[in-house]
Amino acid sequence: MNVQFKKGVLDLCVLSMLKESDQYGYELANTLSEIIQISDGTVYPILRKLATDGMVTTYLQESQSGPPRKYYKLTGLGKKTLISLQQEWLTFSRSVNQIVGGDAQ
Amino acid sequence: MTREEYLATLKSALHSLPESDIADIARDFEEHFSIGLSQGKTEHEISAELGDPATVAGTYFDEGLEDIGHTMKESAAHYASAASSAAANRSAAETSGTTGTTGSTAAVKPVSPQKDLTGARLFVILLNVLITWWVAITVISTLFSFWCVSISLLVGGIGSFTALAAAPGDWISVFVLFGLAGILLAVATGILNFFLSKWTVIGSKAYISWNKKLYNEGF
């Protein structure tokens, strides 16, 4: 898949994945790389940027095996941003599909 | 690429950032490697999945790092606080349960209940105070005395040879015999001692890491 396509929606993907539960970097990287074929390493710069922008906070939690894991949690701002990004994405993707064709509405 | 190589390349590609930021980014990747390894992946597989370190490092600059130093300092505080005991962690969990989000990203808030480590820690401390201490002294002094035996055999053997010149005629063969026997025994016991010492060191290291694991993670 085109790298430029992915780049714009990675923030949205990460925020969406954090909607249900807090996750640590490895989990996010694994899921994301499986679904949209990005390299695992790409997730960490995104997470850092989201933290800088106040979309997520981080906390450390002990794990049964290995070192403590850094978990990411959506902030209030993150939740609001996610909702508006979701709307934007749906509208945008619908419009693009209209032009490009394909089987979507 | 091994873990070391990956981290080295990543760090060198990030060199224009402040030292603390580089260390903080490296920690995220170290954590990724540790978790991957614990799931049975090899360092090479994990490196391949992460993608080219130089490209990944470049992404940190693309994503706009204007005031990322702020966030990173806070997350350095996370790691510092995580290094403190689980007891502190638990009390943090209790207090944050009432305050909710403390407004700072540095708040340590476990999602699930922490494992109680008190028993394991007490066990480790008592084990070392009551038993290990005495075992260690015994082992070390035994090894020391073994080495003393080897050294005195060697000194005795060499001594016999040096005394040959002064020995009366009929004693020469006895002195040669003593000398040879002394040196041979010194070499033989020396080899034995070497392995005993080596095993002791290996055993001690294993014991220490077992203790650490027990102390930090419980039974």
B82 has pLDDT over 60: no
Give domain status of residue A105, yes or no. no
The Cα–Cα gap between B106 and B70 comes to: 12
B73 has pLDDT over 60: no
Is B75 in contact with A58 (Cβ distance < 8 A)? yes
Sheet holding A69-74, edge to edge: A23-24, A69-74, A56-61
Count of CB atoms within 10 A of residue A87's CB?
A: 10
Buried b / exposed e along B20-38 (16+ C-beta atoms within 10 A): ebbbbbbbbbebbbbbbbe
What confidence score (pLDDT) does residue A1 get?
58
Query: Taking residues A3-10, what's their average pLDDT?
Result: 75
> Which pLDDT band holds residue B79 (cuts at 50, 70, 90)?
very low
**Which residue among A33, A42, A60 places its CB closest to the CB of B108?**
A60
User: What CATH number is given to the structural domain containing A8?
Assistant: 1.10.10.10
Are the C-beta atoms of residues B73 and A65 closer than 8 Å to each other? Answer: no
The Cα–Cα gap between A75 and A55 comes to: 6
Residues 66-95 of A with CB under 8 A from B: 66-71, 75
Going from the C-alpha of B35 to that of each of A27, B88, B167, B185, B218, the distances in angstroms are 10, 24, 72, 51, 19
B64 has pLDDT over 70: no
> Which pLDDT band holds residue A103 (cuts at 50, 70, 90)?
low
SS3 per-residue string spanning A35-100: HHCCCHHHHHHHHHHHHHCCCEEEEEECCCCCCCEEEEEECHHHHHHHHHHHHHHHHHHHHHHHHH
ipTM of the complex: 0.87
What confidence score (pLDDT) does residue A54 get?
93
What confidence score (pLDDT) does residue A36 get?
84
Give domain status of residue A104, yes or no. no
The Cα–Cα gap between B205 and B219 comes to: 19
What confidence score (pLDDT) does residue B115 get?
67
Q: Across the strands, what pairs with A24?
A: A71
Q: B7 and chain A: CB distance < 8 Å anywhere? A: no
The Cα–Cα gap between B111 and B97 comes to: 10
Q: Which residue segment(s) compose the domain that A50 sits in? A: 3-98
pLDDT above 90 as % of chain A:
61
B49 against B94, higher pLDDT? B49
3-state secondary structure of A22: coil
**Which residue among A40, A66, A70 places its CB closest to the CB of B50?**
A40
Give domain status of residue A55, yes or no. yes
Nearest residue to B89 via CA among B120, B58, B66, B111: B111
pLDDT above 70 as % of chain A:
92
What confidence score (pLDDT) does residue B145 get?
95
Give domain status of residue A78, yes or no. yes
Mutate to test the interface with B, among A60, A63, A69 (most CBs of B within 10 A): A60
Q: What is the pLDDT of residues A63-98, one digit of tens each?
A: 877 778 999 999 999 999 999 999 999 999 999 899
Give domain status of residue A103, yes or no. no
B73 against A44, higher pLDDT? A44
> Which pLDDT band holds residue B173 (cuts at 50, 70, 90)?
confident
Please state, rounded to an integer, the average pLDDT across all residues of chain A: 88
- DSSP per-residue letters across B27-58: HHHHHHHHHHHHTT--HHHHHHHH--HHHHHH
Nearest residue to B39 via CA among A30, A58, A44: A30
What confidence score (pLDDT) does residue A28 get?
93
Is A57 in contact with B79 (Cβ distance < 8 A)? no
Q: B98 and chain A: CB distance < 8 Å anywhere? A: no
Q: Which two tokens stand for residue B30?
A: 């170290």
Instruction: State how many domains chain A has.
Output: 1
A61 against B71, higher pLDDT? A61
Mutate to test the interface with A, among B33, B35, B109 (most CBs of A within 10 A): B35
